[in-house]
Amino acid sequence: MGYDNLKLEKGMYRQEGMNFTQVLESLDPSENYRGTALEGTDAFQRQLKRFGIRAKGAGSSPVEKFFRTMDSAVLFPEYIARTVRQGMEENDILPAITATTTVIDAMDYRSIYSIPTDADKELKDVMEGASIPETAVKTKEHLVQLSKRGRMLVASYEAIRFQKLDLFGVMLRQIGAHIQKQQLADAVNVLISGDGNENAATQYTIGTGPISGTKGTLAYDQLVEFWGQFDPYTMNTILCSTATMTSMLKISELQNPLTGLNFQGTGKLSTPLGAQLHRTSAVSDGVIIGLDNRYALELVRAGDVLVEYDKLIDRQLERAAITTISGYAKIFPDASQVLALK
């Protein structure tokens, strides 16, 4: 069966364990198009081509083109979900602070943990006949707190039917950016306060041992001392607010040509300590979160971006919810720590 004669229906959004694109792929596998002009497209993109719907560019189609036929209308919710997801992924720093992502199909999830003792961290020789040191891995006492984040799409079909998809897509990507901002705030809260399993981050204050200096003043010495608290982990990522990052970048030791050259070339900032700097309003002024992003945080997702497909297919855009459900769990508590300037 070719892509141009598939029968599309609402029920394709209700397939258990599969999203809409996966259902399309099962009916119209992309591997069948190797060596053709459609190689590199997925099943959804081929459906857009089938109905002549251009989603991007100056010659993009109007919104109403999705509703020329009943089959093409079925594609509209997936278009919205994809565009919102694109907005979530633009400038998304969650991949830079999460060690792993777990996708679940239920609302209950209990993560695992392992807290090595000082003796466990020692690299001792195992004598012949002696027992091998053990690492205990256990399930956490409390479930991961999952939060629904999203926005309500409030628009009449008549108001947007003639708008170009390129412009409408900008609005949808902004919705995605709002959702991503909410999710990042959730992640920051877990990094600082823990996931409910008595694993809040250790907090240090400038001017209070083992961090030297004067409260309210950030200098290179304090960054080095903070970096030194992470053994056996490595502080390879720093989260802070715009004001705190501004103060940090004024430190003379951070003002080297290589840092500036790297920023101009890649748009990324790094410290001489090897940590990538990420600015976010989710962190309060005067607070620095340091972490080893290989071991600190687990992202738990309950499915993908969800849209009210029934309403969207029937052109009932007045109150159509766009949501996603996710939560965070700490993996190794000592892999994330906090430095307060005062």
For 297-308, write each residue's pLDDT tens digit: 999 998 889 898
pLDDT per residue over 253-268, tens digit each? 777 656 555 655 565 6
Q: Could you give the CA distance from residue 83 to residue 166 in angstroms, rounded to a whole number?
A: 10
pLDDT of residue 115: 66
pLDDT at 257: 59
Which residue, 160, 146, 66, is CA-closest to 104? 146
CB neighbours of residue 85 within 10 Å: 19
- Residue 237 predicted with pLDDT over 80: yes
In which band, very low, low, confident or very high, does the pLDDT at 124 lie, cut at 50, 70 and 90? low
Asked, as a colleague might, if the bond just before 232 is cis with ω within 30 of 0, I would say yes
Sign of the Cα pseudo-torsion (9, 10, 16, 17, in order): positive
Percent of the chain exceeding pLDDT 70 equals 87
pLDDT band of residue 154 (cuts 50, 70, 90) is confident
CA distance 293 to 302: 22
Ordered by where they begin, the domains of the chain are 198-299+330-340 (3.30.2320.10)
CB 47 within 8 A of CB 6: yes
pTM: 0.85
Six-digit token string for 243: 């004001």
Q: Is the dihedral of CA 178, 182, 184, 185 positive or negative?
A: positive
Distant-in-sequence, close-in-space partners of 139: CB < 8 Å, separation ≥ 6: 110, 111, 112, 113
pLDDT band at 24 (very low <50, low <70, confident <90, very high): very high
The answer to whether 239 and 97 have CB atoms below 8 angstroms apart is: yes
pLDDT of residue 186: 96
Instruction: Round to whole Å and give the CA distance between 333 and 342.
Output: 23
Q: What is the pLDDT of residues 157-178, one digit of tens each?
A: 888 899 999 999 999 999 999 9
- Residue linked to tokens 């961090």: 211
Q: Closest Cα partner for 244 from 191, 188, 287?
A: 287
